[in-house]
Chains A and B, each alone.
Chain A
C-alpha cells in the first residue's frame, strides 16, 4: 500500500469512481473540480509504485446467487490478502509457543515420557491437542500450509505485476508538481529544451530510468525497482526455505553409535545403536562409508570455580568411503563434524569403558573386553552393567552372570560415596554388585545393554547375608562366593558416541536463507521513487524550472535526493531573477489549478527569494 496517502485514500474521499472525473467535467464547485483533478493527478503519479495489493473488502459477497465459484473466489481473495497473511503469521508464531514450554517427543522423548507419567490428567488433554508433537500436529501443519498457500497466491500475481512495472514507463508529470511531497522551483535564462536535456542526462547518470514526457516540456524518471524485486525475492526465498525444510524432514535420517577406542563402524542400518528417519526415507540411501575411532582426547579445567568444565574433546578417526576406499585420517570435534558424502558425523558424547575379564567357576575366561558405562553427571560418574551369557558355575552348570554398578574416573577414597570428583581419569574406581540367573537376553525381546533386568536373577551375598559389593581399582579382583568365579578390573578404555545424520535439502535451505536476507535488505534499505522535471517558458520569457519527487513511502531521503539533483541541474540552468512584472503562476500548463481565493500570491514570494540569490 502506498504510504503517501495521495493514492486511494484521496480517491475515496471523493466518493466517485475516479474514472468519471474527466478534467473537462464541469462542476459547480470550482474547488471540488480542482480537488478531483488533483486527486487523479496524484493517483496517476503514484500508480504502480508498488505491487502491494490494495486492501480488499472483508465482507463476504452478499449475493447468494454467487454460488460455489463466487464463494471460492471470495475465499481465495481472503486467503491471499495481506490481512489474512498477517493473521496466519501471528497464529504460526503463537502456535510454536506451547512447543517450547511442553516437552516434545521429537526433541526429548525421555522428558516427554516423564512428564506424561507425572501429570496423567493434563497429559490426556495435551494428547488430544497433540501438544507433545506440536511441530508435526495437524493444527500446526494446517497453519503453515495455509500460510504457504497464501504466500504463493500472493507472490505469483505480484511477480507478474512487477514484470509489467519493469516494462512500463514512468508516469507523466502531474500537472501540479508542487503537490508532490518534495518540490522545488526556480527561474533560469536557459532554454527549456536545454534544461530538460540536462535534467535527463543528470538523472540518467544517477541511474534513473527516464522518459521524455510528450510535448508538455517535462521529464519523468524513476528509480529503485530493486526494492520491489527484493521484496519478491524475499517472499520467494521463504517458499524455497519452507520446501527445503519439509524435504529435509521427510528424507532425513539420523542414527547414534557408541564406539570404544580402537573399534570401528560401517554405515549400515544394523550397526546403529538407535536410528530415526523421516517418513519418505529409504535405507538404500545410506552413504557407504566407515571409520574407526583411533583415540579420544579430552581435557578439563583443572581448578577454579569452573573446575571440571570441558576444554577440549577430540576424536581421532580413520575413515574410508565406499566399500574399500582409501583410508584417511580426520579429527572430529564438537563443532567440527566429519563430512562424508551426504552424511555428517558428529561427536556427541564421551565416556569410559572399564575393561574387565570374568573367569567362570571352571576357571575359563567367560568374558573379556571393554564395557561402556554411561555418564550420569558432569564429572562422568557412570553407570553400567557387565553381562556374561556364556558361563558355567563351579559345578559346571550353564548359567548367566550380571554385574551392575558405577564407574568413577576420579574416586575419593574414604568418601564413602561413588560420585566422581573430576571428569578426567585420575583415580578410577569401579563399584559393582553381582547377580546370577536369567539375563533375559535370549527371549527375543530387545534389551538395553546398559540395564540389568534383575527380575529373574539372584544377587550374590556375602557370608552375613549382605549383598556382595566391592570397590575395585584397576588390577583388583572381585571374587564371587563359593568358587563361582571372579571379575578382574584390568584397565579403562575411552569411548565416544557419534551421531551420523543425513539431511537432504540443506543446500537449498541455506541458499534460500541467503536470498531471503539479501531480498530483505533490498526491500527494507532501498526505496522506490519518482522524480519529475518540468521546464517551460514563463510569461516573462524566462524559463520556469520545476522539480518534484515522490517516494513509495515518506522518507527524509526523497527531499534530500531532490535537493541534490536540483543542485546538479542548477549548474546547467543557473538561477536567474524573475522579471518583477511577471506575477504569474509557476505551473503554466495547469490553467485550472490555482484559482482559489485564499491563495496567497506566494509565487511572487518564491520568486523574490530567487531574485535575492541571483544578485
Chain B
C-alpha cells in the first residue's frame, strides 16, 4: 500500500467517523423535535375547528360573497392605523373547497418552551448537516471522485441533500418547520441503513462509471429524489390534515391527539400547494435526469434506451409524476386522488432506488451490496 492509498484510507475513516457523529447529532435533533411537539401540545388552539364548524362556515361564506369593494380581509384588518407606504394588495382566495382555513402555528403550538426546543432542534439539524456534509466531502476526497457511486454513498449524499434543501427553505423564510420531525426521522433511518446494510469500502470507480455524466446524471437523480421526498412528506401530511378538516366540516369530532397534532400543521390547502410546487418544480429536472442517463447509456452501452430495469423504473416514476400533474389539471382528480398519485410516484422512485438495485438484475450493477 503506497502513501497515497494510506492517506485515502485515513480520509475514508474520517468520513465514517463524521457520518456517525452526524447521526448522533441528528438523534439529539430528533429528541429536541419530540420535545417541541410534546410541549406544543399544551396549547389548545383550535383555529381550524373554529373556521370549519358548520355554523361558522355559512357566516364566512356569506360575508365573503357579500363583501363590498375594498373590504377584503386584509384591507379590513388594516384599519387606519398603519401608514400606507405603498398601496395595499388585497388578495382573495378563489380556490374552490374550504374557505380560508388558517395554517396551524407549527409544532410548538405557540408554547414558549416548545418553541425553544424547536429552535434547538433546527440548530442541531443545521449542525448535523455540517458534520454530515463534511463526512460526504471526506468520502469524496478519499476516493478522488464524486461521492456517489454505490448505494452507501448514494444514501449518505441523498439524506444530506434532503436536509440541505430543508435548511435552504427555512433560511429563505418558508414556513416549513413542520417538516423537521419526519425529516430527521427518515434521515436517521436512511443513514442507519447506509452504515449497516449498504456499507461499502471506499474505492475508485470501475471504468464503466468513469464519465462526467456520472456527475450530471447521478447528482441530479439525488437532488430530484431529495426534493420529491419533501414533496411526499407534504402530501402525506396533506392527506391526514385533509381528512381532519373534512371531519370537522361534517361536524365530526376528531380525537384529542389528532386534534392536537393536526391543529399545529399548516392548512390542507397550504400543504397541498407546498407538495405541488415542489413536485412540479422538480419534474423538469427529473425529465432531464432521465435524458442525461439516456445520453450516458448511449455512450456506454451503445443504445440510449434499452428497457433495462433501472431505465424502466425511471420511466415509470416519470410517467407517474406526469399523471399527477395531469390529474391536477383535470377537475375530477384534484385533491386526494392526485395526492395518492403523487405518493405512488414517489414509491416508484423509492423502488427504483432500493428495489431495483437490490432485487432486480440489470446493467446498473453498481450497488456494491
Contacts and interface: CB of A to CB of B under 8 A. Distances in A.
Contact of A585 (B5, B69, B75, B204): B69
A609 B88 contact: yes
A86 B203 contact: no
A575 interface: yes
Interface stretch (A214-222, A300-308, A390-398, A454-462): A300-308
B280 A524 contact: yes
A509 B283 CA distance: 19
B94 A181 contact: yes
A227 B296 CA distance: 30
A258 interface: no
B89 A559 contact: yes
Interface string B52-87: 000000000011011111111001101111111111
Contacts of B62: 598
Contact of B284 (A97, A517, A587): A517
Given A89-B319, A524-B280, A575 B84 contact: yes
A599 B62 CA distance: 10
B68 to A, nearest CB: 4
A503 B84 CA distance: 66
Nearest to B9: A304
B171 interface: no
B93 A181 contact: yes
Interface stretch (A99-107, A265-273, A405-413): A99-107
A71 interface: no
Given A100-B356, A503-B303, A517-B291, A86 B326 contact: yes
A605 B80 contact: yes
A602 B70 contact: yes
A334 B326 contact: no
A96 interface: yes
A311 B205 CA distance: 7
Interface stretch (A2-10, A16-24, A322-330, A359-367): A2-10
A20 B323 CA distance: 37
B89 A501 contact: no
B321 to A, nearest CB: 10
A596 B330 contact: no
Contact of B72 (A89, A178, A254): A178
A516 interface: yes
Contact of A334 (B207, B294, B319): B207
A99 B309 CA distance: 8
Contact of B316 (A6, A97, A134): A97
Interface string A78-98: 000011011001101100110
Given A86-B333, A566-B89, A608-B80, A600 B96 contact: no
Interface residues of B, number: 83
A304 B12 CA distance: 13
Nearest to A54: B331
Given A178-B90, A563-B86, A306 B312 contact: no
A346 to B, nearest CB: 4
Interface residues of A, number: 102
Most chain B CB inside 10 Å of its own CB: which residue of A100, A509, A562: A100
B298 A506 contact: yes
Contacts of A35: 65
Nearest to B214: A335
A337 B296 CA distance: 11
B315 to A, nearest CB: 6
A270 B203 CA distance: 43
A341 interface: no
A219 B236 CA distance: 44
Interface string A492-513: 0000000101010010011001
Contact of B69 (A52, A101, A178, A312): A178
A529 to B, nearest CB: 13
Interface string A507-541: 00110011011001100110000000000000000
A357 to B, nearest CB: 34
Contacts of B306: 107
Interface string B83-125: 1111111111111100000000000000000000000000000
B257 interface: no
Contacts of A4: 94-95
A85 B326 contact: yes
A223 B199 CA distance: 52
A596 B280 CA distance: 41
A524 B89 contact: no
A5 B291 contact: no
A563 B87 contact: yes
Interface in B127-156: none
Contact of A594 (B68, B82, B207, B288): B68
B320 interface: yes
A309 interface: yes
A86 B338 CA distance: 11
Contacts of B86: 563, 566-567, 570
B360 interface: yes
Contacts of B67: 599-600, 602
B281 A100 contact: no
B329 interface: yes
A478 interface: no
A182 interface: yes
Contacts of B206: 309-311
B341 to A, nearest CB: 8
B308 to A, nearest CB: 7
Most chain B CB inside 10 Å of its own CB: which residue of A55, A96, A309: A96
Nearest to B5: A304
A184 B88 contact: yes
A606 interface: yes
Interface in B178-210: 201, 203-204, 206-208, 210
B363 to A, nearest CB: 9
Contacts of B37: none
Interface in A164-180: 176, 178-180
A107 B348 CA distance: 21
A559 B91 contact: yes
Nearest to A608: B80
A612 interface: yes
A26 interface: no
B91 to A, nearest CB: 5
A82 to B, nearest CB: 5
A433 interface: no
A499 B281 contact: no
A135 interface: yes
B252 to A, nearest CB: 25
A84 to B, nearest CB: 10
A611 B78 CA distance: 13
Contacts of A520: 283-284, 287
Interface in B281-317: 281, 283-284, 287-288, 291, 294-296, 298-309, 312-313, 315-316
B136 to A, nearest CB: 20
B14 to A, nearest CB: 18
Given A86-B323, A100-B312, A566-B87, A181 B92 contact: yes
A437 interface: no
Contacts of A252: 303
A524 B281 contact: yes
B256 interface: no
A31 B71 CA distance: 18
A547 B81 CA distance: 23
A85 B307 CA distance: 23
Contact of A599 (B68, B283, B287, B327): B68
B239 interface: no
5 contacts: A6-B94, A93-B319, A100-B356, A176-B69, A503-B303
Which 9 residue pairs across A and B have the least CB separation, nearest first? A613-B84, A602-B71, A93-B319, A599-B68, A606-B70, A100-B312, A100-B309, A520-B284, A178-B69
Given A5-B94, A587-B69, 15 more contacts: A82-B330, A86-B326, A89-B319, A89-B326, A90-B323, A107-B307, A181-B93, A313-B207, A337-B299, A346-B302, A570-B86, A575-B87, A596-B66, A609-B80, A613-B83
